[in-house]
Structure 1
């Protein structure tokens, strides 16, 4: 059996619409890379096509994961399939509007400079709101998930919760900055309402491609981290399952479950830490002593908890084949 044939067989019961959209965004990712190589124009200091590239990568991962998750649901599967179609439609609308603004060389999010810009962002905001609600409902459904491997089941549950938190953090970007609020108070209007960067205007120095600010706080970082907890935790469970073939200690499903839960708590702690750092206007590449101390305590806590979990007696270790 070839790899492609095996993949088709494994994904046969997955949600078709989201799976196809994930495949489409994988292709779009490549096209965006080509566009960045060919078209050297910039927008707010970043490559013009970089935002479409980042959203395409995230969307491919997001819809691939949900295509798998909804196929596992023991209850509400038909409803979940219908709701996942809503996710597909909502994000497709948002992305098409982002493409329109990119072609126009206009900022897509928070842009109220012209009536057309404001209308486009209002439609995008509406689709995002619907997507958030649907994502929340699907996450609640995932909490009923039951799988033979409990580590995978709980990885999916915790990852889905982290994904909702990541999506929710995007609302922090929609509030007007002090400068924008002053403009609104003075004139009743502002060209931009909302920002990614805290403490400085958007468009300053940033990390290559990612664009995350290197001089101020950036709310896109915890938003990104939380959203992709949806993939990180299930991948951890998968990795532990693969390693169990080599390390007998990991054949204990209770141990793998403990490690997944510890990792999920640590991930949530990192999400909180990065949000706190961004809201203080602090760049990800210039953490202060408070941030470094909190990070060190978080790493130590996760490592210590993991060592305790590994050190506990294995329930099935002695019965496992040598």
Structure 2
């Protein structure tokens, strides 16, 4: 069957919805939501701090959408019986509920011109606590599904891709939990005295330690390791196993190193 270039997006979307009907619609909706958010950013001059009130909603819609779709794709490597099992269903349901709450609350607060993280007052504190629980649910669900893929892989999926998908979700979830807790225990991502402009788009501090760098590295193991698996897909699984395990260890070391550097108050991208 030949597919024209124009039909690729529709083919991919249709395949995603058929393969993972629970997570895929949510991921696609979040990515679609970035378009009106960008439009709002262009016409709304309000700012919170030094950035548009719509910047944080845009970043979370994009990152959560990519993460959800990554998990949906990775689940192709999970045995169908395990996908229908209690553990997978609980993990997927928890992820959906947490992602909807996180994206919805952050978008609402942005529209109101109010902070979502570390919001003042009793209600703000309660909602921030719920956001912490939601973030914990997302990373725990991610790690759980990664472990399931490694333990109960689907038949017919190349061993290299199964290992890459499972380890990617497992590393992302586990390190996302560790770095997320570091941010919570530090009462925020900044360690030290922040000042001046941050890294473009990301907003990471260039004058103080910023735990968001480590958190970013940790979470994106979910994409990085599967991409390496795709590059090695034609390699003998017995040969590809070593590079994949080494990459998972190096990725983990990079995230943990960035976390320790931030906790020491040292910026990852210092000012010249």
TM-score, normalised by the number of residues in structure 2: 0.85
When Rg is computed on C-alpha atoms for both structures, the one with the higher figure is: 1
Number of aligned residue pairs? 261
Query: Which residue of the partner structure matches residue 170 of structure 1?
Result: 180
TM-superposed deviation, 1:13: 4.4
Structure-1 separation of matches of 2:143 and 2:170: 8
1:48 is the counterpart of 2:40: no
Of the candidates 182, 191, 211, which is equivalent to residue 219 of structure 1?
211
Unpaired segments ≥5 residues, structure 2: none
Deviation string 1:280-313 (CA, Å, 9 cap, x unpaired) is 11111129xxxxxxxxxxxxxxxxxxxxxxxxxx
Structure-1 separation of matches of 2:101 and 2:17: 26
1:137 is the counterpart of 2:144: yes
Distance 1:139-1:286 versus aligned 2 partners, 3 A rule: same
Of the candidates 187, 192, 205, which is equivalent to residue 197 of structure 2?
205
TM-score, normalised by the number of residues in structure 1: 0.73
Distance 1:145-1:68 versus aligned 2 partners, 3 A rule: farther
Q: Secondary structure at the match of 2:203?
A: coil
Structure-2 separation of matches of 1:60 and 1:271: 22
Structure-1 separation of matches of 2:196 and 2:122: 26
Distance 1:8-1:117 versus aligned 2 partners, 3 A rule: closer
Query: Which residue of the partner structure matches residue 278 of structure 1?
Result: 262
Structure-2 separation of matches of 1:8 and 1:22: 11
TM-superposed deviation, 1:5: 5.3
Q: Secondary structure at the match of 1:215?
A: coil
Deviation string 1:127-180 (CA, Å, 9 cap, x unpaired) is 33333443343233122143542221111122112211123311111125xxxx
Of the candidates 244, 247, 250, which is equivalent to residue 263 of structure 1?
247
8 Å CA contact 1:47, 1:209 repeated in 2? no
CA RMSD of aligned residues (A): 2.4
Query: Which residue of the partner structure matches residue 66 of structure 1?
Result: 71
* Within-5 A mapping of 1:177-256: 194-200=187-193, 205-241=197-233, 244=234, 251-256=235-240
Unpaired segments ≥5 residues, structure 1: 177-193, 245-250, 288-322
